Amino acid sequence: MPEMSFLQDLLVLFGLGTAAVVAFHRLNLPPVLGFLITGVICGPFGFKLVDDSLAIETLAEIGLVLLLFTIGIEFSVKTFFRLRKFLLIAGGLQVAATVAAGAVLTHFTGLSWASAAFIGMLVSLSSTAIVLRLLEYRGDIDSAYGRSALSILIFQDLCIVPMVLITPFLGGQGGSFVDVALLTGKALIFLVLAATVARYLVPWLLNQVARTKKREAFVLSIILICLGTATATSHFGLSMALGAFIAGLIISESKYNHQALGEIVPFREVFNCLVFVSIGMLFDIRILLANPVTVILGLLLVIAVKAAIGAAVTGLMGNSLRVALLTGFSISQISEFSFVLAKVGLNVGLLDAQTNQLFLAVAILSMFMTPASLSGGGKLAQLLERVLPLWLAGNSKEPQERSEAMNDHVIIVGFGLGGRNLAAALADVGVSFTVIEHDPQIVRDEKAKGTAIMYGDASRQEVLMHAGVDNARVLALTLSHSETVLRSAEMARRINPGLHIIARAEYMEEVEPLIAVGTQEVIPEEFVGSVEMTSRVLQNYLLPRDVIERCVQRLKNEQGQAWLALYEANRPGDGLPCIPCDLAVEVRRIPTGSLLVGKNLLDTGLRPKTGVTVVAIQRADGSIVLNPKWDDQLQAGDSVILLGHRQQFALAAEFFANADIPPAPSGSAGAPVCPAQPVDEPDHPGDSEAK
């Protein structure tokens, strides 16, 4: 029975695919490569384990449609307009330069200019599916080079339509330029009409379906919109994938975008497995064995040329050398859409069977090489950053001048939501700060607002020195990219051993490496979120506050013991063992009307009642009393520097409550400044509330 044969084919593919993904995961490689290997093994040029490869290819086409649909939902129209300048300029330059370079290089092999230009078009496209999977696997999809690569990839996907229209013309079967222009015009008119209708029809349709509160109806409506738009575009000479991308963009602007994405992702993963399996089935190992030099030389040329062009256009848009190189190497492979375009070229005579097979071998091997190429690009960037001057490595027109007046300030690395919130708080209290950001657009926008911000990679010594790291008090690493955070912390610690480094980490496993390079405080969002989740759930059961706090404190203490062990293992050898690991410093301001006003330190009872020690007092006029005596009186507006445990600080808080807080003393930094002389903070991090 043919049905049973097809089911057996799927069983073989999914079985081998699962085994390959598990094996590649243990090798720390993306699962996409496992799917490609599965296709090579099962294909007609492998062990021929699949009988109905045509049915698999049909399902793979659906997988491509669903992939572009989810990309459209995640990308959104707002993101498109925000990145439109880079997308259009950098993407246009990359495609044009790659087509030209590919045409020139292949023309010298004896191909006609038409065939050479067509191969240039094939090579200019990069694999959106592989790059997205690789960025997600590395956690870099929101990084500067991740956004740059995604912008170029989106432009390439948009270019598939005109390339399909031009291909018959190059093969002498497309009529005149007028015919091509008319077909292109019809396609554009259809896109405008489809987008206009869908913008008003889709929200109404989804709203009606959502009212039923039936998941089945919602899932079917989403698939209907995706496949319906894709099918409609194909009838007007456009690719189904582009139609699916447009449908995704439309849904991204509705309030149902997250639900739609969640429902479609399981389908996408299944069909994407078949996409790369079907690509792997095209690989004929005999071509590689018969023409090893030609295939390997072609592979190296494709990777080198595409990486160089991608890096050049990214650098021209104002990005650093590191971002440019990573962007170039991330898009250095050939796209899965190139196989679709190659079929069109084969039908119109632009490719012969032998050239097509050589192209397929080079294209599939370039996909295999993507993880290695990206890793090599990162290492090349590190090497060039060491040997090139700062202004060249940072791709800035001239070195940024250092502000010698900057002292005792905070350096904020990364100006996302966390960096912006921190900068706003520092500005409110009058603490000076400077920001290091690697996104040139953010730097330009913030400089126009007057923000103290500079462009650069904080893992570079020169960039940190320009930010005054040797005179700074705190380095706040708010980035989400773990590798950059780790390298920045390590470099900053080398330059300024007395710097207090606070770093953000997404996961618990990132904590230990950061502590090992000298980070005093690490805020793992995974743990902080779990503590807050525990607290909120317990509150919902109306448990007493002391019970909730006891449970939360138990979580912190249990996790804190592991952290303290890490700090103890990596602390400097001359640390003071007599100081407890959880000792910390806190500043409290005495409000008008406080019970402490007019009392000396002995009469306040702070020490016997709470256990905290007053190590310094900053008066309202800005003067500082170091190591105050028992008879020093406290006044309204004084800022009191306390030494103790966090639990003791909680007990002392009630002494400083109840009244209007006076403004910060003139001439001071707003928040009281505790000099290093009165007390040296222990070399341990303390179990701060952030942890």
Amino acid in position 251: I
| Architecture per CATH, 2-383 | Up-down Bundle (1.20)
660-to-431, 624, 665 alpha-carbon distances in Å: 21, 22, 15
Give one DSSP letter per residue of 352-390, joined into a string.
Answer: -HHHHHHHHHHHHHHHHTHHHHHHHHHHHHHHHHHHS-H
Q: Which helix (H) or strand (E) holds 410?
A: strand 410-413
Q: In the 8-state DSSP scheme, what is residue 508? A: G
How much is the pLDDT for 413?
Answer: 93
Per-residue three-class SS string for 619-682? CCCCCEEECCCCCCECCCCCEEEEEECHHHHHHHHHHHCCCCCCCCCCCCCCCCCCCCCCCCCC
| C-beta of residue 75 within 8 angstroms of C-beta of residue 248 | yes
Question: Encoding tokens for residue 323?
Answer: 């971002």
Long-range (24+ apart) CB contacts under 8 A made by 374-383 are 374/134, 374/138, 374/326, 374/329, 374/330, 376/329, 377/307, 377/325, 377/326, 377/328, 377/329, 377/330, 378/322, 378/325, 378/326, 380/325, 381/321, 381/322, 381/325, 381/326, 382/322
- Residue 309's pLDDT is 96
Neighbours of 314 (CB within 10 A): 30
d(Cα 207, Cα 531) in Å, to the nearest integer? 36
Fill in the DSSP letter of residue 235. T
CB 505 within 8 A of CB 486: no
Domain ranges of the chain: 2-383, 410-570, 580-691
Nearest to 361 by CA among 272, 299, 274: 299
The first and second tokens of residue 156, run together, are 């390439």
Residue with structure tokens 């020195």? 465
pLDDT along the chain (691 residues), means of 10: 73 89 81 85 86 76 78 70 82 95 91 92 90 78 81 84 80 66 70 70 84 87 86 74 78 80 78 82 86 94 95 88 90 88 86 89 91 87 71 47 67 91 91 87 85 84 85 91 86 90 86 87 83 86 81 75 53 42 77 82 86 89 86 88 83 69 41 39 39 33
On whether the CB atoms of residues 365 and 371 are closer than 8 A, the answer is no
Decide if 232 contacts 243 (C-beta within 8 A): yes
Does domain 410-570 fall into CATH 3.30.1280.10? no
Q: Is 544 exposed, middle or buried (0-12, 13-18, 19+ CB in 10 A)?
A: exposed
Side-chain-facing half-sphere of 599: CA atoms under 13 Å: 13
pLDDT the model gives residue 93: 94
Instruction: From residue 677, give the alpha-carbon distance in Å to each of 469, 474, 584, 615, 630.
Output: 20, 17, 16, 10, 20
Q: What is the reported pTM?
A: 0.64
DSSP string for residues in 198-218: HHHHHHHHHHHHHHTT-HHHH
User: What local confidence, expressed as pLDDT, does residue 461 receive?
Assistant: 79
Torsion of CA 302, 304, 310, 314, to 10 degrees: 180
The neighbouring-strand residues paired with 412 are: 435, 476
Looking at residue 577, its pLDDT comes to 40
- Distance in angstroms (rounded) separating the CA atoms of residues 569 and 566: 5
Q: Architecture of 580-691 per CATH?
A: 2-Layer Sandwich (3.30)
Measured between alpha carbons, how far is 529 from 527 in angstroms, rounded to an integer? 5
Dist. CA 438–CA 319, nearest whole Å:
8
- Residue 149 and residue 329 in contact, taking contact as beta carbons nearer than 8 Å: no
Name every residue whose Cβ is closer than 8 Å to that of residue 557 and which is 6 or more positions away in sequence: 687
